[in-house]
């Protein structure tokens, strides 16, 4: 008799597990609390679905930090090439962008999701929408559907409930309370790939909100990268900030603040900037002088004014101005709220699951995806890990139960 497999959560990990399990003839039902599947998946694709990255495997694995060894095993079973092959089988050929990121040729998530769900339906996966998981009642899964409690028996359960970012899309971290009630170990959910609060002046905030600071170098401790980020009303965010966010968040947790160093003009060295600032200022305003002499952007000049003060800037020496350009110290007060983050850290600890990703204290209950305690930068690494994790758990279920 076929095992009844319940997958709770209709995001990438859950759908991938359902794909593999049903493709192997398993009896699979997916329970999703929202009225449609893959809402965060679709959101990720609004600006172009970055599904994985073409980076070499050695550097790729390093993106998972302290959990790199765990993810090496996962990605060995479902690599970036496997993701690209999987996309192509769903009718979506992929291409590598200039940054090494991998996208579907349509550049969208919706065609891929439609094809994916059609295949699951063809493989006789049962879809249960608007089923909000409430936990367990003895050995039964409990769901709330149209204000009615539904009790479900399953031989195997896979939880793929996401973290706590973008709660309107379905993943709000409410499962943590269920786990605590059951005595299951979790670590606090924290914002990852997030922005940070900076105490801008009203003048700077009103003028530069939404503007990008481009072609700068960001340094935090021994980590350095060249990129850009966006000025927000009360802080900073963007891909370069996200890449350093986990390290800066931890520093804030220790000290209550952190310092991000900026090089506002990385293509010119200290001496060259000093040399150019020796040129006569004539009747130019300081803003126009810096713009003309160094080709500094309005945002970069605004940051200098914010740091040194527009009136005082005229009284600083060329060396002091140069130091401010090359070693700009940005004070970050705290992360943006978790519901504004791209992803989350924290969740189900790896100590509480076995090598098959089954909960040690809950027989035949497996966990996959962002609800586990790991994090990775944007750029295809997040989605790749979720897809690969779903595939890994599906295959371990097949082996464990000889399905």
CATH number of the domain at 98, please.
Answer: 3.50.50.60
Reported confidence tier of residue 270, pLDDT bands at 50, 70, 90 = very high
Q: With cut-offs at 50, 70 and 90, classify the pLDDT of residue 1.
A: low
Question: Is residue 168 scored above 80 in pLDDT?
Answer: yes
**pLDDT attached to residue 23:** 95
Number of domains in the chain: 2
- Average pLDDT, integer, range 72-87: 97
- Residue 385 structural domain: 4-191+344-401
Q: Which tokens is 55 given?
A: 């980076």
Cα separation, 200 vs 210, in Å, equals: 13
Of the candidates 315, 335, 355, which is a domain's last residue?
Answer: 335
* Same domain membership, residue 357 and residue 283: no
Is it the case that residue 174 has pLDDT exceeding 90?
Answer: yes
250 and 294 together in one domain: yes
Indicate whether 9 and 83 sit together in one domain: yes
> 235 with 358, same domain?
no
Tell me what the mean pLDDT of segment 165-180 comes to. 94
Residue with tokens 């779903």: 390
Residues 233 and 328 in one domain: yes
How far is C-alpha 353 from the chain's CA centre?
Answer: 23
The region of weakest confidence among 22-36, 177-191, 251-265, 301-315 is 301-315
- Which two tokens mark 48? 């172009």
**Which of 309, 335, 361 is the last residue before a domain boundary?**
335
pTM above 0.85, yes or no: yes
Strand partners, 31: 8, 128
Q: Give the model's confidence band at 311: pLDDT under 50 very low, under 70 low, under 90 confident, else very high.
A: low
CA distances from 94 to 13, 43, 103, 110, 314 (A): 20, 19, 5, 14, 53
| Residue 402 confidence class, pLDDT cut points 50, 70, 90 | confident
Average pLDDT over residues 122-132: 98
- Please, which pLDDT band fits residue 310 given cuts at 50, 70 and 90? low
Structure tokens at 166: 């973008």
Q: Is the domain of 161 the same as that of 228?
A: no
Mean of pLDDT over the chain: 95
pLDDT higher than threshold 80 for residue 313: no
């Amino acid at each position: 008799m076929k095992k009844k497999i319940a997958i709770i959560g209709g995001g990438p990990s859950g759908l991938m597990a359902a794909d593999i399990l049903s493709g192997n003839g398993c009896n699979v039902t997916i329970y999703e609390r929202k009225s449609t599947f893959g809402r965060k998946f679709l959101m990720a694709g609004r600006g172009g679905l970055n599904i994985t990255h073409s980076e070499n495997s050695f550097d790729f694995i390093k993106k998972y930090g302290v959990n790199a060894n765990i993810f090496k095993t996962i990605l060995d079973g479902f690599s970036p090439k496997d993701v690209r092959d999987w996309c192509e089988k769903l009718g979506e050929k992929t291409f590598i962008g200039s940054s090494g990121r991998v996208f579907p040729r349509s550049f969208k998530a919706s065609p891929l999701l439609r094809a994916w769900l059609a295949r699951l339906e063809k493989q006789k996966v049962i879809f249960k929408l608007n089923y909000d998981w409430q936990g367990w009642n003895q050995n039964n899964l409990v769901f709330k559907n149209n204000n009615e409690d539904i009790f479900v028996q399953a031989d195997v359960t896979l939880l793929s409930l996401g973290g706590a970012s973008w709660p309107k899309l379905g993943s709000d971290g409410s499962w943590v309370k269920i786990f605590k009630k059951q005595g299951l170990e979790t670590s606090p959910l924290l914002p990852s790939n997030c922005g940070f609060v900076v105490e801008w002046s009203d003048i700077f905030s009103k003028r530069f909100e939404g503007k990008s600071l481009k072609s700068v170098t960001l340094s935090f401790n021994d980590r350095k990268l060249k990129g850009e980020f966006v000025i927000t009303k009360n802080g900073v965010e963007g891909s370069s900030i996200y890449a350093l966010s986990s390290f800066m968040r931890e520093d804030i947790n220790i000290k209550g603040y952190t310092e991000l160093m900026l090089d506002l003009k990385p293509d010119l060295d200290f001496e060259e900037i000093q040399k150019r600032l020796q040129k006569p200022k004539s009747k130019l305003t300081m803003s126009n002088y810096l713009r003309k002499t160094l080709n500094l952007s309005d945002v970069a000049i605004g940051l200098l004014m914010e740091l040194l003060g527009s009136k005082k800037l005229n009284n600083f020496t060329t060396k002091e101005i140069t130091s401010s350009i090359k070693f700009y110290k940005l004070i970050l007060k705290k992360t943006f709220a978790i519901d504004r983050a791209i992803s989350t850290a924290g969740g189900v600890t790896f100590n509480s699951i076995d090598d098959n990703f089954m909960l040690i204290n809950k027989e035949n209950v497996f966990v996959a995806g962002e609800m586990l305690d790991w994090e990775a930068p944007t750029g295809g690494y997040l989605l790749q890990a979720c897809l690969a994790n779903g595939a890994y758990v599906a295959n371990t279920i097949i082996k464990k139960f000889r399905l």
